[in-house]
Structure 1
Amino acid sequence: MKMLNAALLILYPVAWVAPMIETRVFWLLGGGQISLLGGLQTLWSESWPLACLVALLAVIMPYAKVVLTQLAYHRPMPLIGQALPWIARLSMADIFLIALYIVLAKGIAGASVTPQWGLWLFTGCVLLSLWISWRKT
């Protein structure tokens, strides 16, 4: 378990820069691949409060959960054990947001959204982290 959790310390940053979705707008013949960090940069220019919320749910909370779990393996602390389930719930919210974005974008006429390997990696990281914290408590 310790090794799997430690691997997440490396896999999360890879997932943040990996292409999560590919968009195509047929009537413009444009599109491209969007990563989590790239999407946050774009969102920052549109709505910085929403970008901060997404950064909290998609970057800070999941990574904090992995770090706290790793610390709990080395020095058990009751407060960390109580906080992990709440942090885990918040770190799952971003998967819902990405899924909602895909559904909404597919509803736009002439648009196509395809999940890429980064979305699967990121989802796997979140689920593995959730499973590790469940096994830890």
Structure 2
Amino acid sequence: MRWINLSLLVLFPVAWFAPLMQAGLLPLFGLERISVITGLQALWSSDVVLALVVTLFALFAPYLKTIGLALVHFGLADPRLLPALTLLGKLAMADVFLIALYITVIKGIGVGRIETLWGLYLFTLCILTSIGCSILTKRNESKY
């Protein structure tokens, strides 16, 4: 379990730069690739408060949770930290739901064109793997 969790320290940054979707205003124009990082860059220039919230949910929450879980796995942190780490994982999942909501709204309006790409699946897989690691770690808490 600890090695799967440690692999997330590499996979999360890959997922942040991976293309989540391609989006365009009208079907006739080219599509622009959007990643977590490019989305955050756009937010920082238009809405700082929202950018802070998304940065917390998309970058800091999952990464801090992964580091905290690794510390528990290697006996460097108390297992009583697990409920707080689980909460961080749930906050990170909120970002995935936000992205899915945007995709659904844009497709429903029909003004633009949007296609999901492999980065969305990688990011979602990383978050779900992180939550799974927390659950399994809590079940095996006596080992730590």
After TM superposition, the score normalised by the length of structure 1 is 0.94
Partner of 2:136: 135
Question: Unmatched 5+ residue regions in structure 2?
Answer: 139-144
Identity of aligned residues (%): 42
Worse-matched range after superposition: 98-107 or 32-41: 98-107
Aligned residues: 137
Partner of 1:44: 44
1:99, distance to aligned residue in structure 2 (A): 0.5
Within the alignment, does 1:126 sit opposite 2:99 as a pair?
Answer: no
Give me the whole-angstrom Cα distance separating, in 1, the residues matched to 2:57 and 2:94: 7
Kindly report the root-mean-square deviation, in angstroms, between the aligned alpha carbons of the 2 structures: 1.3
Partner of 1:55: 55
Q: Name the amino acid aligned to 1:108.
A: I
Q: 1:96 to 1:9 in 2, by over 3 A?
A: same
After TM superposition, the score normalised by the length of structure 2 is 0.89
Give me the whole-angstrom Cα distance separating, in 1, the residues matched to 2:111 and 2:84: 44
Partner of 1:23: 23
1:80-119 map, 5 Å: 80-119=81-120
1:78, distance to aligned residue in structure 2 (A): 3.6
1:24, distance to aligned residue in structure 2 (A): 2.3
Worse-matched range after superposition: 67-76 or 10-19: 67-76
Secondary structure of 2:58's aligned partner: helix
